[in-house]
Amino acid sequence: MYRVLMSESDVFATIHTTRRDRGFIRDSLARLFVAVLLPLVLLVSSTAGKAHAALPLATVEGGPLPTLAPMLERVNPSVVNIATFTTVQVRNPLLEDPFFRRFFGVPDAPAQRRRTQSAGSGVVVDAVQGYIVTNKHVIEGANEITVVFSDGRVLVAELVGSDSQVDLAVLKVDPKGLKAIQFADSGRLRVGDFVVAIGNPFGLNQTVTSGIVSALGRSGLGIEGYEDFIQTDAPINPGNSGGALVDLSGRLVGINTAIFAPAGGNVGIGFAIPANMVKAVLTQLIAHGKVRRGYLGIEVQALNADLAEAFGASRTEGVVVVQVDTDSPAGRAGIQPGDVIVKLGDRNIDKLGDYRSQEAVVFAGGKLPVTVQRNGQSRSLILALDAWDGEQVAGQQISSRLRSVQLQNFRQPQNPDTSAGVLIAELANDSPAAVAGLRRGDVIVGVNRIAVPSIDKLREAIRNKNQPLLLRVYRSGEFGYISIR
């Protein structure tokens, strides 16, 4: 019989155990593990079901022990380190003052440039075409992206597309000699499943940590636009972003993207984007260079017991429709305020987070089945999805001079002067556009003397991504020109 807790006298006696006694205890514990505990581990692993892999065994000092080494040998070549290089302009505020320059006779001089470097991780998802998935924030604003493989190869990567709402980006490299990871069905994950995180924390290449799934469907964290995170206690640190979260079979269950770190380091709370969401988004990015989400045309709120009783719903959890745009897919399909959404696509809607995360993988041009409860009766409807004009696009995908800028289609029918254009939704203070004078909230209505009522027209007008840009901009009721060279 073994003690779980020891008194102070037990601890003192243990510390003063003779070397011979310690050797006897060590040998006894080793025999106990091989004879009793190891068969129990193997029995549990063999009966856990086909969906959950058993740990492989390695022979250590004459006895078999569980190990992850064979799985990692297969998976590590699919996980890469990503280095990004960004050139930023560094200006002295005094030299920006015309009076200062004139008083001291300082000639005009171009701003100094400084090259910065950052690191992250990525995962090879298509070995034939050379596609790698990572987090958008890993490559944000980068002028140059290089990928380092486990065998030491270094390749230059091209940005295919990114999605700020889910924080994913797809890169493309020379596909020669690549090995792609296998996707798991993240919908089958359960709290308590073992997972392994692989990445590049603090620049330490090919670092592996392990843990379990702590929670599923985490949302409302304010990290991304659409949140449906896998929470894990596998240690995740800066540099792990974009790396792989895999199951014991080495299949991808998520892309590591964020940590909860009140003290700046790992505290056992990490978040990963589920593999099913990753697969849906990267398909859009590869096909279109952006995500063309569908527009439903409804606003919802969380359902509670009082609302359920008021609307005659047989369930007290889920979401209820509070507003419907008449000229929208939902309006045309017959959805009404007060309808309780039970199912969206193939996903049951049990909470507001379920609805928001399903919105992330609803794309324009498709048909979306929706099940609602109305007056206690179930109804099945089909929505023909329109494109959502509010989707943001990274400016770097259109021109290097618009890097670190988020663009969004703009509509204002009531103002004939700016009925359509491209809104500056976000931009970094050190971006070329900001240095040239562009500001958040500006609306681009023309580029290089060509009208641009939409992002697609802006892309068409800029044939050469590196050409200087002459933007016609609407701001605070007035028009003006901004040149970005």
Whether residue 41 has pLDDT greater than 60:
no
CA 285: distance to chain centroid?
13
Task: Provide the pLDDT for residue 323.
Answer: 85
52 against 210, higher pLDDT: 210
Mean pLDDT of 455-471: 81
What type of residue sits at position 199? G
Is 288 known to be catalytic? no
Whether residue 110 has pLDDT greater than 60:
no
Whether residue 16 has pLDDT greater than 60:
no
Catalytic residue among 121, 214, 219, 241: 241
How would residue 181 be classed by pLDDT, with cut points 50, 70 and 90? very high
Least trusted range by pLDDT, from 281-295, 352-366, 389-403, 459-473: 389-403
How would residue 366 be classed by pLDDT, with cut points 50, 70 and 90? confident
Report DSSP letters for 115-171, one per residue. EEEEEEEEEEEETTTTEEEE-HHHHTT-SEEEEE-TTS-EEEEEEEEEETTTTEEEE
Whether residue 46 has pLDDT greater than 70:
no
Catalytic residue among 118, 121, 137, 186: 137
Task: Provide the pLDDT for residue 45.
Answer: 44
What's the CA gap between 261 and 239, in Å, rounded? 14
Whether residue 10 has pLDDT greater than 50:
no
Task: Provide the pLDDT for residue 93.
Answer: 58
Task: Provide the pLDDT for residue 347.
Answer: 86
Candidates 468, 393, 401; CA nearest to 425 is: 393
Task: Provide the pLDDT for residue 390.
Answer: 61
Task: Provide the pLDDT for residue 29.
Answer: 44
Catalytic residue among 167, 193, 228, 442: 167
Task: Provide the pLDDT for residue 42.
Answer: 42
Is 162 known to be catalytic? no
Mean pLDDT of 61-79: 84
Mean pLDDT of 175-199: 92
37 φ, ψ (degrees, to nearest 5): -70, -40
What's the CA gap between 421 and 481, in Å, rounded? 15
What's the CA gap between 340 and 342, in Å, rounded? 6
315 against 413, higher pLDDT: 315
Whole-structure pTM value = 0.66
**Hunting for tokens 């079979």 — which residue is that?**
249
Mean pLDDT of 282-298: 86
351 against 171, higher pLDDT: 171
Average predicted confidence (pLDDT) for the chain: 79
Is 167 known to be catalytic? yes
What's the CA gap between 444 and 436, in Å, rounded? 14
- Which of 59-63, 95-99, 377-381, 387-391: highest mean pLDDT? 377-381
How would residue 396 be classed by pLDDT, with cut points 50, 70 and 90? confident
- Which of 26-35, 190-199, 218-227, 426-435: highest mean pLDDT? 190-199
Task: Provide the pLDDT for residue 13.
Answer: 33
Task: Provide the pLDDT for residue 100.
Answer: 56
How far, CA to CA in Å, does 13 sit from each of 5, 20, 323? 14, 14, 72
